[in-house]
C-alpha cells in the first residue's frame, strides 16, 4: 500500500489514485505549513510544501513532490523502475539535502535493498517509506511515516538507503516485511534499527554505514536480471542442487 492510494475501497482493496497525494497533503496542517510556505515561497511558480517545526531538530523541512506516471502498484515494479528511481536521484543529487521515496509496502524492501547496492559512494540520506493506511484516512500511519522520513532526510547525516516505518529507521538492505495487518509492518530481525523516534530521537550513529571512498556519487545500473533463490534445508540432495543450477 502507498501513501497515495485513494481513501475509497474498491472491492475491499485500495487502488492507486494519480495526483491524489500532492493535492491532499497541501491541506493537511501536519504535512504542510501554509503560512510558512506563503511567507517564504509565495512568489514561486510552483510552491513547495513545508513541515511545521519538529521538536529536537534544527532545520525546517521544505520539500517537493514528484509523482511518477504511470502510478504503479508496487507488486508490478521491475528492475527498470529501480533504475529509473536511482537515475532520478542522480539527476537531482546536488539540489536537495536528502530524498524520500514513497513506495507500496508489497515490495518496498526489495527496492530499498536494490538501491542500496546500485547507489555507490552515497553521501546523502535516501529514505523509503509507505503506509498500511492511506494518508487521508482519519486513522493513518501514513502521515507519521512521511513526517518521520522527511525529518530524517533533512536533519540527520545518514548517508545510506534506509527504511522509515512505525517510528523506526532501518537499514534498507537489512529489513523485511513481517506483517500485513499491523502498523509495525517492517523490522530488521538480525540488525538493530539505525534510530528510533520516541519522545526523543535516538540514533545509533555507530551503526551508520559511511563509505571510506571519496569518489563521486554514481549509479550502477548494469543489473543482472537472471536471479533465482535456492532455499537450503537439511537433507537436500546433490541432485536437487544440481538441477537448480542447470535451470
C-alpha cell at 112: 530499498
C-alpha cell at 176: 523485511
Q: Which of 191, 138, 140 is nearest to 169 (CA)?
A: 191
* 133 preceded by a cis bond (ω within 30 of 0): no
C-alpha cell at 161: 538507503
CA distance 11 to 25: 25
Region of 211 please: left (phi>0), alpha (psi -120 to 50) or beta: beta
Please check if 235 is assigned to a binding site. no
Q: At 150, is the secondary structure helix, strand, or coil?
A: helix
Q: At 76, is the secondary structure helix, strand, or coil?
A: helix
Please check if 7 is assigned to a binding site. no
Burial class of 56 by CB neighbour count within 10 A (0 to 12, 13 to 18, 19+)? exposed
Does residue 111 have an active-site annotation?
no
> 43: Cβ–Cβ under 8 A, 6 or more apart, which residues?
none
Catalytic residue among 2, 57, 78, 105: 105
E-strand stretches of 135-237? 161-165, 168-171, 176-177, 186-187, 195-197, 201-203, 218-219
Please check if 74 is assigned to a binding site. yes
List binding-site positions.
74, 105-106
Q: Catalytic site residues?
A: 105
List binding-site positions for substrate.
74, 105-106
Amino acid at each position: 500500500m502507498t501513501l497515495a492510494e485513494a481513501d475509497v475501497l474498491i472491492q475491499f482493496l485500495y487502488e492507486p489514485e494519480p495526483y491524489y497525494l500532492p493535492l491532499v497533503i497541501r491541506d493537511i496542517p501536519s504535512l504542510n505549513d501554509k503560512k510558512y510556505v506563503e511567507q517564504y515561497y509565495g512568489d514561486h511558480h510552483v510552491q513547495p510544501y513545508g513541515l511545521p517545526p519538529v521538536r529536537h531538530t534544527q532545520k525546517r523541512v521544505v520539500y517537493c513532490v514528484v509523482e511518477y506516471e504511470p502510478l504503479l502498484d508496487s507488486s508490478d515494479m521491475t528492475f527498470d523502475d529501480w533504475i529509473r528511481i536511482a537515475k532520478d536521484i542522480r539527476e537531482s543529487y546536488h539540489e536537495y539535502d536528502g530524498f524520500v521515496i514513497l513506495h507500496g509496502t508489497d515490495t518496498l524492501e526489495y527496492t530499498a535493498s536494490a538501491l542500496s547496492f546500485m547507489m555507490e559512494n552515497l553521501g546523502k540520506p535516501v529514505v523509503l517509506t509507505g503506509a498500511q493506511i492511506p494518508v487521508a484516512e482519519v486513522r493513518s500511519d501514513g502521515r507519521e511515516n512521511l513526517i518521520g522520513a522527511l525529518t530524517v532526510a533533512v536533519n540527520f547525516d545518514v548517508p545510506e538507503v534506509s527504511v522509515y516505518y512505525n517510528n523506526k529507521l532501518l537499514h534498507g538492505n537489512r529489513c523485511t516485511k513481517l506483517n500485513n495487518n499491523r502498523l509495525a509492518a517492517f523490522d530488521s530481525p538480525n540488525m538493530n534499527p539505525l534510530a528510533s523516534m520516541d519522545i526523543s530521537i535516538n540514533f545509533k550513529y555507530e551503526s551508520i554505514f559511511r563509505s571510506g571512498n571519496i569518489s563521486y556519487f554514481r549509479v550502477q545500473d548494469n543489473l543482472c536480471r537472471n536471479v533465482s533463490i535456492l532455499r537450503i534445508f537439511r537433507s537436500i540432495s546433490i541432485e536437487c542442487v544440481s538441477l537448480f543450477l542447470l535451470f
